[in-house]
Amino acid sequence: MKKILILSLAILALSTSSCKVIRQGEVGVKRTLGKINPRVLQEGPRLFNPFVTTIIPVPTRTINLEVNLDLPSKEGVNVLAEISILYHVDGTMATKVIEEIGRDYERTIVLPVFRASSADITSKFMAKDMHTGNRLAIETAIKNQMNETLLARGIIVENVLMKSIKLPPNLYRAIEEKMEAEQAAQRMEFVLLREKQEAERKRVEAEGVRDANRIVSEGLNEQIIKFKSLETFEKISTQPGSKLIITDGKAPFLINE
C-alpha cells in the first residue's frame, strides 16, 4: 500500500507539472497566482505547475525595432524617416519590467518614449541637418533622451539609427543648390589662394634677381674689370690659332678668331 501511495503521488505530481526551457539570450519571470516572484530565472529547464504558475520568457538580447514616422524640423517641415531602434531588457530587472509595464513593453513604453523623444530632438534641427553630417548628433541625442526615461524602467537603448530620410522635393533641390554654391565658393577660394601664392613667388623671385644685380653692380669696379680682362687675355694667348684682339687694354675687348 505504501508503494502504491508513493507511486500515485508521483503520477499526480507529474500530471500537474510542466517544464519550461529558458533559452540563451533570455531570462524567465515566474508568476504564481498573479504574484511575480522577484527571483529571475536563468537559462535552462524549469519545472512548474501550469495550473497556478506561469513562466514568462523575457528576451535580453538586442532587439531591432524598425519605425517609419514623420519627424518635425525646426522650420516646420515634416521629414519622412525610417529608423531602427536597437534596445534590450536588463536581465536583472526583468521582473520589474513585467510587474510594472507588462509583457508588451515595446508597445507600452518603448515606442511612445521614442516618438516623443525623436519629435522633441528633431524639432531643434533644420531638415537638411537630418540629411547631412548632423545625423549622428540627432541619433545620439534621441538615444540619450530615451535612456533618461527607460533606464530606470529596466530597458536600455543601445542605438538609434536613421536608415533613410525622405525630404520634400523642393527642399532637396534647395539643399543641392546650396551645396553647389558652397563647392563653387571653395573652388574660387582655392584659385585665389593659388594666384596669391604665385604672385608671392614672382615677387620673391624678382627681389632675388634685383638683389643679385645690385651685388654684381656694386662689386664691378675698374680694378676688377682690368683684372678680369688680363685673365681673359692670358687664356686666349694659350689657345692655338691666330687671333685678332682689338682693345685699349682697359675696356672690355672684342675678339675676332
For residue 114, pLDDT over 50 is answered with yes
- Written as nine digits, the cell of 63 is 532587439
Phi/psi at 142 (5° precision): -65, -45
Determine the pLDDT at residue 127: 78
pLDDT above 70: residue 246: no
Distance of CA 45 to the CA centre of its chain: 43
Considering the entire predicted model, what is its pTM?
0.60
pLDDT of residue 180 exceeding 50: yes
Comparison of pLDDT for 219 and 160, the residue scoring more: 160
Q: Which pLDDT band holds residue 84 (cuts at 50, 70, 90)?
A: very high
* Span of 74-88, 100-114, 149-163 with lowest mean pLDDT: 74-88
Enter the C-alpha cell of residue 157: 537603448
* pLDDT at res. 46: 84
Sign of CA dihedral 64, 65, 66, 70: negative
Q: Contact, 160 vs 142, CB < 8 A?
A: yes
The CATH class of 63-172 is alpha beta
- Residue 175 has a pLDDT of 58
pLDDT of 254 > 50? The answer is no
Q: Name the more confident of 249 and 30.
A: 30
Does the structure show a pLDDT above 80 at 96?
Answer: yes
| 3-class DSSP state of 248 | coil
For residue 111, the tally of other CB atoms under 10 A from its CB is 15
Q: Could you tell me the pLDDT band of residue 187, with boundaries at 50, 70 and 90?
A: confident
Residue spans per domain, the chain: 2-58, 63-172, 220-256
Model pLDDT, residue 184: 72
Average pLDDT over residues 133-145: 90
